[in-house]
Structure 1
Amino acid sequence: MAQPEPHDAAAAHVPVMRDRIVAILSPALDRPGSVHVDGTLGMGGHAEAILEAHPTCRVVGIDRDPQALAMAGARLARFGDRATLVHAVYDELPQVLDDLGLRRVDSVLLDLGLSSLQIDRTDRGFAYATDAPLDMRMDSSSPLTAAVVVNTYSAADLTRILRTFGEERFADRIARRIVQARAEAPFDRSARLVQVISDAIPMAARATGGHPAKRSFQALRIEVNAELEALEGVLPAAIDAVAVGGRIAVLAYHSLEDRLVKNAFRDATSDHAPAGLPMVPDHLRAQFTNLTRGAERPTPDEVGQNPRAASARFRAIQRTREAA
């Protein structure tokens, strides 16, 4: 059977929690000339749903992956100049908006983690279940690859990355095994790395917690793409960018991402007056309110249709007032 063309694959892809995201962002976009920013455009599924739901809305789609931008461009071409696609990392949001002459926007969506395009393209090296080059770059023009990390980082730095970004309790054992193995021959493909990681984990621990290499591959991907640094940068930028009535929605897929989102949203939705004041001065009042109670999860039906949605955590807030 012939493989689907890239634009066909994009059109067939249903993004995580699409209907819930459209519903929660729609009140901010239900006016002529509204502007929505999709900071992680991917294959354009969320953006397409927003454009269909709001015929006068403009979408600014940002992605660091040129392949994703090309596929999204084909998918969104029917919307003409209502869709503006930008090659950038989402923490460059202030510069993107400045270049487009946009001071404020009405909604921002961040769907974090890997896109289906990155997972399914084995040559990108993200999947631990398939032997592939050790790449893991979301933007192929970036110099740092997973091969560079595993072949050049010290054992101490590898331990730090695996423990911090992968929450891997056997980080030190894995790092030492990697350093030993690369002394015999550099790593260039994923299968050998997976084997070294698996061998470093005690047999009893391999039976639980999913694939033995899952946490280590997550850690390497985060390091290669500086994902948490970018997220730390984009959250305050998005908070600054939305107008009164504007909404920010984020889909996170692991605890490290969700913790950053939770903390940023908690700060934005909290008053900042010292305890004991009889009233909160205007300049210390919260500028946002929560739209979700904690982190929402996909429905069982959605997870059944799309197992990759299982780990998603969804949070959203709305600006209620300008900074004093």
Structure 2
Amino acid sequence: MTSERKPGAEGQAFSHRSVLLDSAVDYLVTDPEGVYVDGTFGRGGHSRLVLGKLGGSGCLLGIDKDPEAIRAAQELAAENKRFFCYHGSFANLDEAIVGQGWEAVNGVLLDLGVSSPQLDDAARGFSFMRNGPLDMRMNPLQAPSAAQWLAEAEEKDIANVIFRYGEERFSRRIARSVVAQRQASPISTTHELAELVSKAVPKKEKHKHPATRTFQAIRIFINRELEDLEAGLAAAAQRLAPGGRLVVISFHSLEDRLVKRFMRDLARGPRLPKGVPVTAAQEASAFRLVGKASKANEEEINDNVRARSAVMRVLERVHNEQNHQGST
């Protein structure tokens, strides 16, 4: 997820456009009078562009876990009567859509991961580049924080999280160091954790801080990002109207693999045993992939270095299964 800000020197931030902003919204908005969901509002970069493409009866629902993001969303809702907001995870997409009185939507956008304002704010504890409390919660009202979890978790659980969500091959060394350190004093700041990890990792990667994978892993775990993504993808696909699209921008391989498999499997249609007599309509999928995976261009990467890892995938509902089968 990105916003209208990007990190600069300490204490500075300056404007930029959300990653894949124009292309994501171009893919998303197929009916100007339709209803849409921005499942990761952030600071509203995508939402504002969507609203600019909608007609008088078009509507947009913005969702975000972060109270700061919701404050920005409420300001937009006060400015624009076609915009509504929901404080929560996009895992609760179904509940949010039903709450609007909508049965189906014409598009859902998910811009995954941590946002630039979250990274820029040292008090949020997401980045090892800025020293602050080791928090990492997208919704600070929910527990536990990263510091609380590291203070209480079993060594094997810490190692498993860092290996699974960070793909860090030195996860066991790092977990041992965490447990040894917390016996002497709590690990309470981002710099303390970054320094500990740096010392524990015997081999360093070029152009990558040794704590990068560990911070990613703990953040994903604390915020249940992959579990929420699975639930959000399923709910979005279920609620799409015919012609509606699901547009997902991911920023690391764990997310992208999950999104790729989900969309591919839906586009393939039902996997039926060989020899089962079925009609062509029963074999056909209700979904199709739209184009190939897209990446940011050079200009976007120059504007925001995080865009280098962005991958966008698009899925479209072609028809409702029951309607299509009933027409054969």
TM more than 0.5 = yes
Structure 2 residue runs of 5 or longer lacking an equivalent are 6-11, 323-328
Residue 252 in structure 1 maps to residue 255 in structure 2: no
Secondary structure of 1:86 counterpart = strand
Residue 15 in structure 1 maps to residue 14 in structure 2: no
Alignment correspondent of 1:144: 144
CA distance in 1, matches of 2:197, 2:179: 11
Residues 296 and 313, structure 1, Cα contact 8 Å, conserved in 2: yes
Residue 297 in structure 1 maps to residue 295 in structure 2: yes
CA distance in 1, matches of 2:191, 2:15: 30
CA distance in 2, matches of 1:55, 1:26: 11
CA distance in 2, matches of 1:140, 1:264: 30
CA-CA distance at 1:209 after TM superposition: 5.8
CA distance in 1, matches of 2:112, 2:279: 35
**What is the 5 A alignment of 1:22-41?**
22-27=25-30, 29-30=31-32, 32=33, 34-41=34-41
TM-score by length of 2: 0.90
Alignment correspondent of 1:282: 281
Q: Deviations over 1:1-35 (max 9, x none)?
A: xxx99xxx9994421101101211222x23x3x10
Quick one: which amino acid aligns to residue 125 of structure 1?
A: G
CA distance in 1, matches of 2:275, 2:214: 47
| Displacement over 3 Å in runs of 4+ | 9-13, 273-281
CA-CA distance at 1:200 after TM superposition: 0.5
CA distance in 1, matches of 2:276, 2:282: 14
**What is the 5 A alignment of 1:59-70?**
59-70=60-71
CA distance in 1, matches of 2:14, 2:168: 36
Alignment correspondent of 1:201: 201
Secondary structure of 2:321 counterpart = coil
Residues 91 and 232, structure 2, Cα contact 8 Å, conserved in 1: yes
For residue 239 of structure 2, the aligned residue among 238, 241, 246 is 241
* Aligned residue pair count: 311
For residue 268 of structure 1, the aligned residue among 242, 266, 269 is 266
Structure 2 CA distance for partners of 1:180 and 1:10, relative to 1, 3 Å: closer
Secondary structure of 1:269 counterpart = helix
Residue 91 in structure 1 maps to residue 94 in structure 2: no
Structure 2 CA distance for partners of 1:83 and 1:225, relative to 1, 3 Å: same
Residues 112 and 249, structure 2, Cα contact 8 Å, conserved in 1: yes
Structure 2 CA distance for partners of 1:275 and 1:16, relative to 1, 3 Å: farther
Quick one: which amino acid aligns to residue 39 of structure 1?
A: G
Structure 1 residue runs of 5 or longer lacking an equivalent are none
CA distance in 2, matches of 1:13, 1:52: 18
CA-CA distance at 1:98 after TM superposition: 1.4
Secondary structure of 2:188 counterpart = coil
| % same residue | 37
TM-score by length of 1: 0.91
Q: Mean Cα displacement is larger for which, 309-318 or 275-284?
A: 275-284
